[in-house]
Amino acid sequence: MNKSALSFENAPGLWTPVRFFMTVPVFAMLAAIVMLIDGGELFQSRWLPSTLAITHIFTLGFISMAMLGALFQMLPVVMGVIIPNTNRIASITHSGFTLGVSNLVVGFWLNHHGLLNTGMVLIVAVIVLFVASVFWSINKTTKIQNTLHVVRLALLSLSITVAIGVYLVAGYSFDTILIDRSLTDIHAGWGIAGWIIILLIGISEQVLPMFLSTKPYPARFNIRLSYVLFSLLLLISFSPWALPSQLSLFAASIIISTYCGKTLHMLHKRHSRRFDIVVRFWQLSLVSLLLAFALTIYHYFISTDFSVLIATVVLIGFACSVINGMLYKIVPFLVWLHLRLPVMTGKVSPSEKNHTPNVSKVINKKSMLVQFWLHLLATVLCIISAVFKSYWVYLAATSLFASNALLFVNFVLAIKLYHAHR
């Protein structure tokens, strides 16, 4: 790891990002419980209340929760962006976002308009606070890296996703508001391609060489892909000229396939040849994303509704896999960093500090391996459930719950180790 490129003195408190990461598997376990209760009906249609609930558990409670936590850590330490009152803003963001997502999800599940609207208001308030704080802090930064440009695009995409979501929820709640169903696909496009994939493209430029010993991406590779993808989303959504569906789908598949292919090649050729389960999470994630785009193209040309299957591959196979992998690097690093920080900043001498465990010892490797296989099993079973729509869903839900319960336990043990060595 190139620690010289990191600003450790700007690191927020340990609990600032970790509170987000600890919440991530809890929401996934909630999704598994919904799957067990609703059973085989879950994968019948994208419009079912339980399907909408689980979709937003993963997009908001799992994926966005992890990404917000990662940004609270990476912005000051990796990119030099100091958010004022970081710990307080993180606390407000986490509590408001957790409560908002919970209300929204239960509102979808029970078709309760009051909970839906409450959840949406809380989510909007939190996202406005977070995005405004980050943009204000970036404008105060003297040197803006390529990654920061990509982060700004991702946050703009998040804002657009939320804005469209507000309109859709309003139409869902009030009969007087007419909604255009085509906006649902645009909402999903901004959320997946704009918020999740663009932010991943930006963060991977820093994370892969730092944590997985890969070579750096080619100069401006990530920022160019991000701007092209963002521009494509703008054209599809807001251009007065209708961009042909075939052209937009072809262009998006080229952009994302280029990123996946380059990243898979970098992982294969990385400097360290030691086995690392995090590499397997990344490989599973990128292969799933390629599969999702292949299914999307197939779905378009044969005019068969594969939307639930594609969403399953994207959310569980792609997004949840890469977040598992990133958290297995970030959480151990944070534990090591905050145990070592007093020595690194000169507050105490090395002789006064207890032994700091190696980063690789913070979470048991065998436990991570077991959790990977449980996650892979859950991914495969969820895909099978989306195809066959039968009792497979109960096996999928059980493995999903077990995988995330073990992920939660691994994080709890990492925090216990921190307190034991503090």
Encode pLDDT of 177-203 as tens digits.
Answer: 777 777 888 899 899 999 999 999 999
List domains and CATH numbers for the chain.
3-421 (1.20.210.10)
- Residue 397 tokens, joined: 């839900």
pLDDT at 358: 82
Residue 388, Cβ neighbours under 10 Å: how many? 12
pLDDT at 365: 93
pLDDT at 244: 59
pLDDT at 245: 60
Query: Which segments of the chain have a pLDDT < 50?
Result: 1-2, 4
* Rounded distance between C-alpha atoms, residue 129 and residue 93, angstroms: 8
pLDDT at 346: 59
φ and ψ at 243, to 5 degrees? -75, 125
pLDDT at 290: 94
Helices in 39-145 by DSSP H: which ranges? 49-56, 65-77, 86-110, 113-139
pLDDT at 243: 59
* Rounded distance between C-alpha atoms, residue 292 and residue 314, angstroms: 6
- Beta carbons within 8 Å of 302's beta carbon, 6+ residues apart: none
Q: Are 362 and 308 in contact (CB under 8 A)?
A: no
Which SS3 state, helix, strand or coil, does residue 353 take? coil
- Beta carbons within 8 Å of 267's beta carbon, 6+ residues apart: 208, 212, 214, 279, 282, 283
pLDDT at 1: 47
pLDDT at 67: 96
Q: Are 409 and 381 in contact (CB under 8 A)?
A: no
- Residue 274 tokens, joined: 């030691």
Type of residue found at 117? N
Q: Are 120 and 100 in contact (CB under 8 A)?
A: yes
Type of residue found at 389? K
Residue in 314, 211, 214, 217 with CA at minimum distance from that of residue 258:
217
- Location of structure tokens 């399953």: 312
pTM above 0.85, yes or no: yes
Which SS3 state, helix, strand or coil, does residue 88 take? helix
Encode pLDDT of 79-104 as tens digits.
Answer: 888 898 999 999 999 999 999 999 99
